[in-house]
Amino acid sequence: MERPAWAPQGIDISVPSVSRIYDYYLGGSHNFEVDREAAREAMRFMPGLPKVMQANRAFMRRAVRFAVSEGITQFLDIGSGIPTFGNVHEVAQAASPEARVLYVDHDSVAVAHSRAVLEGNELAGIAAADLRKPHDILNAPETAQLLDLSKPVALLLVAVLHFVENQDDPYKAVAELRDALAPGSLLVLTHASYEGIPLSEEEAGGTVGVYRSIKNPLVMRSREEITGFFDGYTMLEPGLVPMPLWRPENDADQEDPYAFSGFAGVGRKA
């Protein structure tokens, strides 16, 4: 297998990666054949997966603009993946040139790409760390350089918590991050769920099986379970809703039934 020039050394390009599969769904070019194979297999069960990812990104952009409109100019995006067009720093810095963005990912491909994309942007950076270890994120040198945690931050957990299994206690990790943030901070979250998918649970389960087979289990949680991540936050209108229904800017987002797979919400820390 030929290693593309952009692939960082030391990466096993024979193993699929969640962030590269996501990149493929979004039409990106930073993925290998092994990722494309896994993506196509997942789409065999759920052909609308690219639409789900697009709805995720569209929600994220609306939420970032909302945060800036609320006076928040610091963003902590955990599980940020491979930077694609319309990423957090582009949206935030277009709305507020002084916006600061710290991306966090544990996928070395995503980290290497982010470094390349962010070169020369002094108000955005990437830390190699894992959501399951909030202490590592909060104490990363990049966090101290870019963010002032004594002031409100928008914490983005977009399409990442469903890759954290219950045995790794995602609720505890989210609570630790919340406790480190200043009052007025926002939690911006999306999460996969069987609720809303225009397929039976059995059909959608085929996609879940693909992720399990590549050692990245996809944990589908109920709306009630996802609401639990907002403990300590006041849920902002319209609450925890299907992604296209969170403060839509036009009707285009609402045309594809797959866009309603999973939930999105924003909460404010008191």
- Would you state the pLDDT for residue 216? 87
Q: What is the DSSP letter of 144?
A: H
pLDDT of residue 54: 93
Q: Are 26 and 50 in contact (CB under 8 A)?
A: yes
| SS3 state of residue 155 | strand
d(CA 192, CA 159): 7
- Using alpha carbons, select from 51, 33, 113, 18 the residue that is nearest to residue 253: 51
3-state helix, strand, coil in the chain (%, to 5): 45, 15, 40
**Domain boundaries defined on the chain:** 49-200+219-269
What pLDDT does residue 1 have? 59
Domain 49-200+219-269: which CATH number of 3.40.50.920, 3.40.50.300, 3.40.50.150, 1.10.3720.10: 3.40.50.150
> At which residue do the structure tokens 């992720």 appear?
211
What integer pLDDT is reported at residue 113 of this predicted model? 84
Tens digit of pLDDT per residue, the chain (270 long)?
566 776 666 677 788 989 899 999 999 888 889 999 999 999 999 999 999 999 999 999 999 999 999 999 999 999 999 887 789 999 999 999 999 999 999 988 889 889 988 999 999 999 999 999 999 999 999 999 999 999 999 999 999 999 999 999 999 999 999 999 999 999 999 999 999 999 999 999 999 999 999 988 899 999 999 999 999 999 999 999 999 999 998 876 677 999 999 999 999 999
Residue among 130, 31, 122, 43 at smallest CA distance from 84: 31
